[in-house]
Amino acid sequence: MSRAASRNTMALNGSAMARRAGAMTGSETFQGVNILLLLMLSLMVLGLLMMSSASVEIASTQYGDPLYFAKRQLFFSLLGIAIVVVSLQVPLRYWYHCSAWLLLLTFLLLALVLVPGIGRVVNGSARWIDLGFYTLQPSEMAKVFLIIYLAAFLQRRRIEVRDTWTGFIKPIVVLGLFVALLHFQPDHGAMALMLAITFGMLFLAGARLHRFLFVLLLGVAGIVALAIMKPYVIRRLSSFLNPWAEEYVYGEGYQLTQALIAFGRGEWFGAGLGNSIQKLYFLPEAHTDFVVAIVAEELGLFGVMLVLGLFSMLVLQALRLGRQAEREGHSFSAYMAYGIAVLFASQVFINIGVNTGLLPTKGLTLPFLSYGGNSLLVSCLMVGLLLRIQYEIRTGKSGPEGEPL
């Protein structure tokens, strides 16, 4: 065989190997995407089913249509899938370079809800902006935009955050601004999530443990001061510790006692889909903050464990994705994946903790399961970001020191 023929043969073999490698990479990407999408779609379908069951009675009474909330949730589910598709097409470099602007936009929106005539007040809380065609809840957007900003900040200043007080305090100042704005709404559930996101991401970036202890002491002092200034905080804490007390069982402890009744009635395998009694005006917010209590009543412990299993797998996938990105030098992608994992884990823990009496009652939705377009769309956006991170890792799209191209 001539040298030219030999070179041609080697070139053809190399081309074939490259095609096989490309096909393998595409297959791996497809399989990985399938896992995240399967988890998201499973949670969305389960949420649509249980939210519809929990809302049938109230929808029939208030709107004359038993499926009123189900139809709206289905619309937002389809819109959420569209957001996943769109976010999958947006390179991470755009999020990286727009992180500061997104943070400023969040501060502006959180301030606007406090302006009379702009912010919409429901049950004493000003958390929404009525746009006519859509009711915007800025605190939902704030959670994911905070993650994007902190991921960009940690990518640029991770050494400073690890080694100096100055680097550690800067994101704490940003957190303080969020806490101040959320306090005046008030939205203490979102405040707790912001705290978990910031501390979780700083810890995973390597910040020293003793610095967290100092900030936590300040936080405890702030909570004590809040309890002294606002006596209802102490009363709510007392009702949490003993919700069955005569003075609380029909007041501050009512939601918790009704949720616990739902859990007790569900036993191992539940009373059956649609057979909940607590949703018949006994349990307030059955289709939003307390939907997991209806899951427990209708599907039993088995149903609750299924929900926990799906969320655990989703969080684990995000953490694995972050770890893989960190190993390959994609710092921004890694911190974003970590932040999303912390947010999902914290929100699920708080919501289920409230439903089971492990935590004081807070108005916080369960991602993908509770009724609400804002929560569902933001949850879908976070899954879309995870998918984009996965795609860029597998295709090697990272710039100098992990900065997105």
pLDDT tens-place string over residues 124-166: 677 888 887 788 888 899 999 999 999 999 999 888 888 888 8
Any idea where the domains of the chain sit in the sequence? 34-402
User: pLDDT tens digit string along 325-383?
Assistant: 998 888 999 999 999 999 999 999 999 998 988 888 777 889 999 998 899 999 999 99
In SS3 terms, the chain reads as: CCHHHHHHHHHHHHHHHHHHHHHHHHHHHHHHHHHHHHHHHHHHHHHHHHHHHHHHHHHHHHHCCCCHHHHHHHHHHHHHHHHHHHHHHCCHHHHHHCHHHHHHHHHHHHHHCCCECCEEEECCEEEEEECCCCEECHHHHHHHHHHHHHHHHHHHHHHHHHHCHHHHHHHHHHHHHHHHHHHCCCCHHHHHHHHHHHHHHHHHCCCCHHHHHHHHHHHHHHHHHHHHHCHHHHHHHHHHHCCCCCCCCCCCCHHHHHHHHHHHHHCCCCCCCCCCCCCCCCCCCCCCCCHHHHHHHHHHHHHHHHHHHHHHHHHHHHHHHHHHHHHCCCHHHHHHHHHHHHHHHHHHHHHHHHHHCCCCCCCCCCCCCCCCHHHHHHHHHHHHHHHHHHHHHHHCCCCHHHCCC
pLDDT (tens place) for every residue of the chain, 405 residues total: 444 444 444 444 444 433 433 433 443 444 444 799 999 999 999 999 999 999 988 888 888 888 999 999 999 999 999 999 999 999 999 999 999 999 999 999 999 988 887 877 776 677 888 887 788 888 899 999 999 999 999 999 888 888 888 889 999 999 989 988 988 888 888 888 999 999 999 998 888 888 888 888 877 777 677 666 766 666 677 677 777 776 677 777 788 888 889 999 988 998 888 888 888 888 888 888 899 999 999 999 999 999 999 999 999 999 999 999 998 888 999 999 999 999 999 999 999 998 988 888 777 889 999 998 899 999 999 999 999 999 988 887 654 444 554
- What pTM did the predictor assign? 0.86
